[in-house]
Chain A
Amino acid sequence: MPEQMRPEQIQITINQQPMTVAAGSTVAVAVALASLPCRTSITGEPRGPLCAMGICFECRATVNGIAHSRTCQLLCEPAMDIRTQ
């Protein structure tokens, strides 16, 4: 495994709570680090990423106001507003 440069930290919010993540982290990982499920299923089950490659849609959350964003394919950006669905 190649050496990592000391990662830059960025500030985001998840469900309006501030959080710091390493730059280059995916939004799905950020939500996992917050110990939250990304979404709730139609019968009320908590759900998180299953495939982590943009196919299962279980990782959906509302990112910067856009609902149903696939968080496993989105990189965290400064001031990103993430809300679990």
Chain B
Amino acid sequence: MITNYDAVILGAGIVGAACALECARAGMRIAIVERDTIGGGATAAGMGHIVAMDDSPAQLALTGYSRSLWAQLATELPVSVEYHACGTIWVARDDEEMVEVHRKLDYYAAEGIEAEVLDSNALAEAEPNLVRPLAGGLLVPDDAVLYPPCAAGYLVEQAQLHGATLLLGHTVTSAAHGRVSLHDGTAFQTKIIVNATGSLALALTPGLQIKPRKGHLIITDRYPGYLHHQLVELGYLKSAHSSTGDSVAFNVQPRKTGQLLIGSSRQFDSENKRVDREIVAAMIERAALYIPNLPSLSALRIWSGFRAATPDKLPLIGPTEDPTVFLATGHEGLGITTSLGTARLLADHLLGRPTTIPLAPYLPSRLPVEVLHA
């Protein structure tokens, strides 16, 4: 059976789901192929934060743009998506970090990202469970959190309302030169293939410079009112930025339900799903420096997941050497945030529309394809 589509989206994680909706809304005949569950990969494993992040100007541009798209969508989102505009506070331990707070403030202001400096007292008032005294922090009020699998589910549902076909429980065996083949022998002809399969993207598009970057999270029982904002230490970017080794950084997020998500950890060179006790312990010890009574809370579950990481911390969005294959992957820890922006950029590119922010920094061609040595 061969069916013709305008585009076949591989992967119904948050990025694939967003791409499917954008393309379907633009009138394209779309199929979404997902091997397991909608939003079941890194989408389910991550924190679900929507944050402005400034590891690089291109990262700030994409996260800022995409964050505003989420804000526009917010009122439409069903309750199950648990969208919660709680804001982020970047926490500064000492005066040195407060210098960084002010640098960020100025930078964000120049880029149109609203932010406000909190001094030591204001921080303590904003978050009574933080250790005292801390030097202060940077409040970014427009950051938000949501529950990713339901967000992906909503986007897919909307795509289907625009005519997209969802093929659930199908594994793609090859996707190149305008043809997508499935495990059961089915194949599709398509003008466009969008590889949005996250850390597995290289399986279908060889040579991509994507490495899986393991992370751990803990979720607690409900403690309503314990934390009001997402909290992250200023050192978070150092952890996210490094290209080797294991690191932890303080990052805790309150969910609308009152549960807390505790992170974060990053590891390279660990491809098994096993929870690493030492990493979890280090993560907790780090978090306890900021929230001293965190260790007394009840933990319900711990899990690990894999972020799709690229060498320059920017995703791969756009064309490959195969004129039918396009990428929407490599989002590391910012997949939820940048999913809508990624989808919009990609759709604009596919349809020849001007993009709202430049696409150039995210083009796959910026990173050479890795050649496998015999």
Contacts and interface: CB of A to CB of B under 8 A. Distances in A.
Contacts of A42: 222, 257
A67 B257 contact: no
A66 B296 contact: yes
Counting contact residues on chain B (CB < 8 A from A), the size range is under 10
Interface in A40-76: 42, 66-68
A68 to B, nearest CB: 5
B173 interface: no
A68 B226 CA distance: 14
Given A66-B296, A67-B298, 8 more contacts: A42-B222, A42-B257, A67-B221, A67-B223, A67-B297, A68-B221, A68-B222, A68-B298
A45 B222 CA distance: 16
Contacts of A67: 221, 223, 297-298
A19 to B, nearest CB: 25
B335 to A, nearest CB: 27
Chain A at the B interface: mostly helix, strand, loop or mixed? strand
Interface string B291-310: 00000111000000000000
B339 to A, nearest CB: 27
B298 to A, nearest CB: 5
Contacts of A66: 296
B295 to A, nearest CB: 12
A42 B297 CA distance: 19
A66 B221 CA distance: 12
Contacts of A68: 221-222, 298
A42 B79 CA distance: 14
Which are the 8 A-B pairs with shortest beta-carbon distances? A68-B298, A68-B221, A67-B223, A42-B257, A67-B298, A66-B296, A67-B221, A42-B222
10 contacts: A42-B222, A42-B257, A66-B296, A67-B221, A67-B223, A67-B297, A67-B298, A68-B221, A68-B222, A68-B298
Nearest to A42: B257
A9 B237 CA distance: 58
Contacts of B257: 42
